[in-house]
Chain A
Amino acid sequence: MSFLEGFKFRRKDTRIHKLDPRTKFIIVVVYTVLSLIFFNVIPLFILFLSTIFLIYMAESMNEWKKTIRGMFFFLTIIFILNFISISQNKIDYSLAMVLRFLTLTSIFSFFFLTTTPDELALAIEASGISRDYSLMFTMSLRFVPTLAKDLQTIMDALRSRGLELEKGGFIQRIRNYTYVLVPLIVYEIRRSLMIAEALEARGYGATDKISTYFELRMKRIDYIITVIAIIITILVILLKIYGMLPSWLFIKISNI
């Protein structure tokens, strides 16, 4: 389950960590938009490289690497599926899709590695979503590693009773995984009921106006980054629509 490493918050003292969560969220949106409007290797490669640079600035390369390594299987599948379903430009297109996936994974990893769950909750609330939903969202993030651990424990117990998860034909394997899913679902439902009770016992929902420890404040650097990011995005979109982007961005790498 090590691919989850790149999505867990680590407390570190870097400039990136100090940015307002909303600024980081804008960066995520910008990267998402940019990576979705391009279908070519070179621009997606540039985007991907710049996400690595951001993660490097956040001193989080090790966690990010674990995630990317864990994604290797997915990446191969993406490449193969695109490769067999496309009739021309096979290599370029499949590679571009792999790079798009890498960019998206990396930028989300960048966001979750550097934003505390508290900041995240505040940022969601600040954008007008109710506390119930923001809590639901941050709690589900909080419990992803726990879920991974439960899954491991369940698989260990089943294997100790002679179940060979990887054995048998396709149907058999699916059946094997239902053995895993039943206890997992039952266990998690029980756990969430317990958490709900604990929340209520500690006064959750008692008042609408809650006090917070700290408030989010956009600093000068946050405004600067936000404005620059939005300008660049709009500029790139306009240039793309009017066909004014430099032609080397669209060179097919299979022709080189």
Chain B
Amino acid sequence: MKNNEVVIETRNLYYAYEDEKYVLKNINLRINKGEIIAILGENGAGKTTLVKHFNGLLKPTKGEVFVLGKNVKDMSVAELSKHVGIVFQNPDHQLFSETVEKEIEFAMVNFGFEKHYIEERIEWALKLMGLEKYRNRSPYTLSIGERKRLTLATVLSYDPDILILDEPTAGQDFLQKEKIAELMNLLKHRKKTIIIVTHDIEFIVNRVERVILLVGGKIIYDGDKRGALTNYKLMKEARLLPPQVSQISWILYNLGVKLPKDILYTEELLRELLRIYKS
């Protein structure tokens, strides 16, 4: 299967800001093309620091990082960003243009795309993120949800193969979260590799396959999401709240209801309860 093409790989990656202590410790990762991954961990676990290595914003203190088979050591951020798009958390740190259109255009101009192609892509991105009617507005006049979508549009517009979303759901309401979920679906169909950095467990339950748990700069779990999210000990170690459905199942289990301990979805819980009820 061609799906096993590795797009990002880290080997014994360590990182320290200035000469302080390591905030990433011995990170070994292989991310395949088309995978949808969540990097989970509490605030300060090192998630953002880790993904900044994937487009060269940070270079390893020790160890190596490969993107699309090339060592990032001698590659510029601009070069890498063409393939690896990162959307950062806070829109207010990123918007500066006079109009929404110009904001979207910025990256493509930097990458030297052709004019008619740029125009095409702006239309596509505006439509995708539902921002057409704001095209001539100043980004600062948009609502927080719209600004978030605009930051997504600025990166999606140039169509990177790998997309990294840093805390995309932080401070967003239900509707915005739905839109971000829709977007992830679309990207999945377009065979993009998606890495989502978050501690919003409920959001990722239905949307990713693989989960990486980061605690104090170390990976304590990397694999199938069920193995992490339904493991009480691991989740506690990572200081994350397990999915509510799993929590309810554990409570019922402790009350004597004979349920499996790795329930992740509402349907699973209902099916089990029905089974018990019937018997």
State the A residues within 8 Å of B (CB). Answer: 2, 150, 153-154, 156-164, 179-180, 182-183, 186-187, 190
Does the CB pair B94–A164 fall under 8 Å? no
Q: How far is the CB of B118 from chain A (nearest CB, A)?
A: 13
Partner of A157, one of B76, B93, B110, B111: B93
Scan residues 72-123 of chain B and give those whose CB is less than 8 A from a CB of chain A.
76-78, 81-82, 85-86, 88, 90, 92-96, 106-107, 110-111
A162-B81, A182-B96 known; A157 vs B88 contact (CB < 8 Å): yes
Question: A29–B96 Cα gap in the complex (Å)?
Answer: 42
Does the CB pair A160–B86 fall under 8 Å? yes
Does the CB pair A162–B107 fall under 8 Å? yes
Does the CB pair A160–B85 fall under 8 Å? yes
Does the CB pair B18–A2 fall under 8 Å? yes
Does the CB pair B93–A160 fall under 8 Å? no
Question: A182–B103 Cα gap in the complex (Å)?
Answer: 13
State the B residues within 8 Å of A (CB). Answer: 18, 52, 55, 57, 76-78, 81-82, 85-86, 88, 90, 92-96, 106-107, 110-111, 140, 154-155
In the complex, number of A-B residue pairs with CB atoms less than 8 Å apart: 60
Q: How far is the CB of B155 from chain A (nearest CB, A)?
A: 7
Does the CB pair A150–B93 fall under 8 Å? yes
Measured between beta carbons, the chain B residues less than 8 angstroms from A163 are 78, 106, 110
A-B contact pairs, 15 of them (CB 8 A): A153-B90, A154-B93, A159-B77, A160-B81, A161-B81, A161-B107, A161-B110, A161-B154, A162-B82, A162-B106, A164-B76, A164-B78, A164-B110, A183-B92, A183-B95
Does the CB pair B96–A160 fall under 8 Å? no
Question: A163–B108 Cα gap in the complex (Å)?
Answer: 10
Which of A162, A164, A179, A187 has most B Cβ within 10 Å?
A162
> Across the two chains, which residue of chain A brings its CB closest to B55?
A160
Does the CB pair A162–B88 fall under 8 Å? no
Measured between beta carbons, the chain B residues less than 8 angstroms from A157 are 88, 93-94
> Across the two chains, which residue of chain B brings its CB closest to A153?
B93
Measured between beta carbons, the chain A residues less than 8 angstroms from B107 are 161-162
Measured between beta carbons, the chain A residues less than 8 angstroms from B96 are 179-180, 182-183
Question: A150–B90 Cα gap in the complex (Å)?
Answer: 11
Does the CB pair B93–A161 fall under 8 Å? no
A183-B92, A187-B93 known; A156 vs B81 contact (CB < 8 Å): no
